[in-house]
Structure 1
């Protein structure tokens, strides 16, 4: 029952995902839905990696904080992967599994994107921000 509700929610959410390809807006089969969910995740992952590089660039003069950031990101990736494995465990072996994993990873990645964007938009002197403001 839980998988059925989750699958229905995911399928209903599919049209709201922003894809350049028309096939994703009107996906009718599981293979296409899996591909589209994966494409969305890859797009988010690319954006995350771009922001990650920007944060590293801002931390270039602070080796200790840069090292902490790199470790935090590595730990976050491990968390994301483990969390999505946990969230999708009941669908293991099913044809919907790749879509559910991609959608989970995409959602968590978009959340992390907001975190990194926040770091990049800190105001000068903000003691709660580990990343220096842009020069």
Structure 2
């Protein structure tokens, strides 16, 4: 029964990622929460790694580094607000934390891809603030 409820919540509340799919076998809400929490921790670690690498690349350009920091802070505020909205239909329920974590995982993985672009773009690309040299 819990697996069915979990699948229904994920289908409605947030895009299903590999992390959420792996969590479907969890038998309790606590186990599902822990599983999705681990997936978020992995995505967040990748985000922090790539963000740190990008900041390090911008150390000699203080203006660009400040803009990256401002963008990242704004992105975190957006992510958290978006996920609060996304999970609003289950607010107060036992699945709320899981739905928020799944949303954060999904958006964080997208941000990792965006930062990865900045880390791999080449000089000459006008939309590349931190080209490889």
- TM-score range with shorter-chain normalisation? 0.7 to 0.9
Q: Which aligned runs of 4 or more in structure 1 are off by greater than 2 angstroms? A: 3-6, 16-19
Distance 1:29 1:80 in 2: 27
How many positions carry a matched residue from both structures? 126
Deviation at 1:125, TM superposition (A): 1.5
**Structure 2 segments unaligned to the other structure (5+ residues):** none
TM-score calculated relative to the size of structure 1:
0.84
Deviation at 1:26, TM superposition (A): 2.5
- Alpha-carbon distance in 2 for matches of 1:18, 1:96: 13
CA offsets 1:5-43 (integer angstroms, 9 cap, x no match): 851527xx57x4289xx9x46311111001100110011
1:38-92 deviation digits (Å, cap 9, x = unpaired):
1100110011000000000110110000000000000000000000001111101
Distance (Å, rounded) in 1 between the aligned partners of 2:39 and 2:6: 22
CA drift of 1:128 comes to 1.1
Match of 1:132, SS? coil
* Contact 1:59 1:132 (8 Å CA) reproduced: no
Structure 1 residue runs of 5 or longer lacking an equivalent are: none
